[in-house]
Amino acid sequence: MSWLADRRIAVTGGAGFLGRHIVEALRRRGCCDVFVPRRADYDLTDMDDVRRLYEDHRPQVVIHLAAKVGGIGHIKERPAEFLYENLMMGMQVMEEARRRGVEKLVAVGSVCAYPKEAPVPFREDDLWCGYPEETNAPYGLAKKMLIVKAQADRQQYGFNAVCPLLANLYGPGDNFDPASSHVIPALVRRCLEAARERSSVVDAWGSGNASRDFLYVEDAAEAIVLAAERYDGAEPVNVGSGREVTIRELAAMIAGITGFTGEIRWDASRPDGQPRRRLDISRAERELRFRPRTALEDGLRRTVEWCRAVSATRRGGDGEREVISYERLR
């Protein structure tokens, strides 16, 4: 049994893409008192709501992953919102946890915090060697401040806050909205639509030469729970696959899995974002005893399968709009 099993645990963002898997991973460990605050009830940018959350549920452990997220285009359109909302949520959730004597807080960060030209693979010590890539900077800097806050609170108050830094996530249940999705769901949706409609072209942003480290969502959830269980250090911990894949290579994989046989047309007038990303995950291997289990090709197949099933249901003649859960497809 995990020591978490008899704790009251709050998971901010626990109803989201990653959060649902974290809640499930906690329940597999015997955690019965897991609370997921909903935005309709608690606005985490409002300190009064944050205080009320702690008063109502008295968590002993907090996993903070609530965030305003989106792809490059979405952040570029709304940089002020991404900075303000993510910064305020993080600072206020962490400060109230510290004031109320929460035993442990896991503040989930992002690879977007790394400098644009950080040496590859990204090592945790390189976080402070430069400014984040410009299109991601409002989000990345807000996430970077979680580390500053955690380390400052540890130094001054002895507060146990830890910061795993996640690679780019993907998997079933991801956001497939064309206005705000990240690269994998965007390419999956476009390739499925093109294959279904027998289109000869799929348009993609950028040159295709940028690279990313992609982590399957279930693996990410396991790593975060392992950080809650096993890690009490001041330094952030990279959580990724340790594998670097170019967007061009990724698009070819997705095209093959979806059955799209046409041309991927790259629009170099659109931003690539950070030129390269690959995380050094040796600290996670050592401190969390974490290794990702899901190969990219396998994770992409599961993601395509999920998206295809959802699309088929939504196209049903009876007008059914149910979103099929991944568990029902396994």
Q: Which residues are catalytic?
A: 139
| Tokens 């046989």 belong to residue | 261
CA distances to 67, 178, 187, 228 from 11, in Å: 12, 27, 30, 12
- Residue 54: helix, strand or coil by DSSP? helix
Radius of gyration of the chain (CA): 20
Token pair of 254 as six digits: 């997705």
DSSP 224-292: HHHHHHH---SS-EEES-S--EEHHHHHHHHHHHHT--SEEEEETTS---SS---B--HHIIIII----
| CA–CA gap between residue 155 and residue 182 (Å, rounded) | 36
* DSSP code for 60: S
